[in-house]
Amino acid sequence: MRCPHCGNFDDKVIESRTLANGDAIRRRRECNGCGYRFTSYERTEDKQFMVIKQDGRREPFDRNKIERGVQRAMEKRPVSQMSIESLINEVEDQSAIMGKVNHELATSAIGDLVLEKIGALDKVAYIRFASVYRHFENLDEFVSEIQKLGGAS
């Protein structure tokens, strides 16, 4: 594994942990050249399923898109990185299960799943994600969503 700091290929594994019900491994590594510590992830790769966009286009499922959206919603919130990683793994796993039948899944199903998981973790992040996902255009839509959220507590 190449060190992201100095580019050296000589490193050692300090710690390994199993994530996502055994489907991924997180490894802490240390570069033998400069001593920089970094994390790598290994995950099994099944046949890629397609995501059906709102306009009918199909594109391969991309975990990174979910990760970017969740990270943006969780920005400056008191939620650990491990909790966020776990949430993303759960969404990826459940999406793969839901898309396994015909190797396709609508983006709306994935978005609803992300909303459900974020809502259980952090209410402010939920509103942030919902405002982008549901395309809020005015204050009334925010207030309506917050009232729904308040009623669910």
d(C-alpha 117, C-alpha 128), whole Å: 13
Instruction: Identify the pLDDT of residue 70.
Output: 95
Instruction: Identify the pLDDT of residue 12.
Output: 95
* Whether residue 67 sits in one domain with residue 18: no
* Whether residue 80 sits in one domain with residue 16: no
pLDDT band of residue 109 (cuts 50, 70, 90) is very high
The residue ranges of DSSP E strands in the chain, in sequence order, are 11-19, 24-31, 37-43, 50-52, 58-60, 104-106
Last residue of a domain, one of 29, 44, 59: 44
* Whether residue 102 sits in one domain with residue 38: no
* Whether residue 72 sits in one domain with residue 27: no
**Average pLDDT estimate for 4-10:** 93
d(C-alpha 17, C-alpha 149), whole Å: 35
pLDDT digits (tens, 9 = 90+) for 44-69: 766 678 999 989 999 999 999 999 99
* Whether residue 34 sits in one domain with residue 71: no
- The total number of structural domains in the chain stands at 2
Least confident of 21-25, 92-96, 120-124: 21-25
* Whether residue 70 sits in one domain with residue 38: no
Instruction: Identify the pLDDT of residue 151.
Output: 58
The fraction of the chain above a pLDDT of 90, given in percent, is: 54
Residue 96, domain extent: 46-152
* Whether residue 137 sits in one domain with residue 63: yes
d(C-alpha 51, C-alpha 60), whole Å: 6
* Whether residue 7 sits in one domain with residue 54: no
**Average pLDDT estimate for 84-111:** 89
Instruction: Identify the pLDDT of residue 153.
Output: 45
* Whether residue 31 sits in one domain with residue 75: no
Cβ atoms within 10 Å of 61's Cβ, excluding its own: 19
Q: What share of the chain is helix, strand, coil (3-state, %, to 5)?
A: 50, 20, 30
pLDDT band of residue 135 (cuts 50, 70, 90) is confident
Tokens for 139, please give them.
Answer: 């204050």
d(C-alpha 143, C-alpha 16), whole Å: 44
d(C-alpha 121, C-alpha 96), whole Å: 22
